[in-house]
Amino acid sequence: MAGKDYYDILGINRNADEREIKQAYRKLARKYHPDVNQGDKSAEDKFKKINQAYEVLSDKENRKKYDQYGDKWQYADQFAQTQQQGPFRDFGRAGAKQRFHFEESDLGGLFGDLFGGGMRERRPRSRRGQDMEYAVEITLEEAYSGTTRTISLQAEEPCSGCKGTGYIQNLPCSICRGAGVVASVKRIEAKIPAGVKNGSRVRLAGKGGPGYGGAAAGNLFLIISIKPHQLFERNDDNLHVDIAVPLTTAILGGEVTIPTLKGKLALKIPPETQNGSTFRLNGKGMPHMGNSKYGDLLAKVNIVLPTRLSNEEKKLFEQLRELRPGG
């Protein structure tokens, strides 16, 4: 396979399942995240490649295209269309009979090229614009609230001189040199809804490749990747966080402050709370994309033992040991 090997980038076999792909991505994303490797340009480049590989392999349809076309997978539909629509559709195909299929417009173009005249003036064919994909990386906070991105796309649009045909009076167009399209750059203000996940495909209708012959433009799909967070780990729409609880609070009960994506909350800790206990805060997780529901926040207790004890504190612990021999 020519070009980038996404399987090699993630360190997985070509027959890896979805779980293995996700595990490999999480492990590498944490290792090479820019926040962990500040100022390390090579780690930043590696992180971008990891995200690019995950975006493709985590999507079944894109992975299928990649397995067939390698890092040119984005043009899979175009390749298939070219194979189906060319004037010599069956020519050169392995095992195919040497047959030629001409349409009237093909004959006009063919003889026009050969003899400089042509049977009739070329007319633009109506063809819907190509769908496009664009990778976008956001933070967990942006995924929680929704965000926007200004996207600059390198695109092609039908040449105004020849109206996308590539020819003027059967001679190659001097503007596009017979290509039928000219390069352009378009900027799009893209809205990313709250609740998106890793691998989410956000559809922007009509923002893809231009249509030809009056046909509609294609769609633009934003492929979302979310940066690993320092505090929270996401599982579907639930969030997991570790909270530090002082030993005395765990034994006697009390309150601790815990973080959420909307700010801090006070959590009541009952007496004799054990290390590793988990508290569920309903509706404090991630929003569900497309409706008003929210996931939960699961806070796991991490009991913090006191250090640098004073003599008085040591005496109190000695008394406790005498009262409760063996712990």
DSSP 198-210: TT-EEEETT-SSP
pTM for the whole structure: 0.56
Q: Which helix (H) or strand (E) holds 291?
A: none
- pLDDT at position 33, please? 80
Give the confidence band of 303 by pLDDT, cuts at 50, 70, 90.
Answer: very high
Query: Does the pLDDT at position 178 exceed 80?
Result: no
What distance in Å separates the CA atoms of residue 50 and residue 32, rounded to the nearest whole number?
A: 9
Q: Which has the higher per-residue pLDDT, 94 or 196? A: 196
Size (the chain), residues: 327
| Lowest-confidence region among 51-65, 71-85, 184-198 | 71-85
Is residue 129 within 8 Å of residue 216, measured between CB atoms?
yes
Give the residue-averaged pLDDT of 112-120: 43
- Enter the tokens of residue 313: 């504190």
- Per residue in 117-147, pLDDT (tens digit) is 443 444 556 778 788 888 999 999 999 999 9
Q: What percent of the chain has pLDDT above 90?
A: 44
Is residue 286 within 8 Å of residue 237, measured between CB atoms?
yes
- The torsion angles phi and psi of 154, rounded to 5 degrees, stand at -80, 120
Give the confidence band of 86 by pLDDT, cuts at 50, 70, 90.
Answer: very low
- The torsion angles phi and psi of 204, rounded to 5 degrees, stand at -110, 100
Give the confidence band of 82 by pLDDT, cuts at 50, 70, 90.
Answer: low
Give the residue-averaged pLDDT of 103-118: 43
- pLDDT at position 177, please? 72
What is the number of other CB atoms lying within 10 angstroms of the CB of residue 225? 23
Query: Does the pLDDT at position 111 exceed 90?
Result: no
Q: Which has the higher per-residue pLDDT, 65 or 233? A: 233
What the chain holds in terms of domains, given with CATH numbers, is 1-88 (1.10.287.110), 127-230 (2.60.260.20), 234-323 (2.60.260.20)
- pLDDT at position 90, please? 42
- pLDDT at position 3, please? 56
Mean pLDDT of the chain: 81
Q: Which has the higher per-residue pLDDT, 107 or 299? A: 299
Give the residue-averaged pLDDT of 191-220: 87
Query: Does the pLDDT at position 68 exceed 90?
Result: no
- Cβ-in-10-Å burial (0-12, 13-18, 19+) of 208 comes to buried
- pLDDT at position 194, please? 95
What is the number of other CB atoms lying within 10 angstroms of the CB of residue 197? 14
- The DSSP code for 125 is P
- pLDDT at position 92, please? 39
What distance in Å separates the CA atoms of residue 224 and residue 179, rounded to the nearest whole number?
A: 33
- List 233's β-bridge partners, or say none: 240
- pLDDT at position 101, please? 41
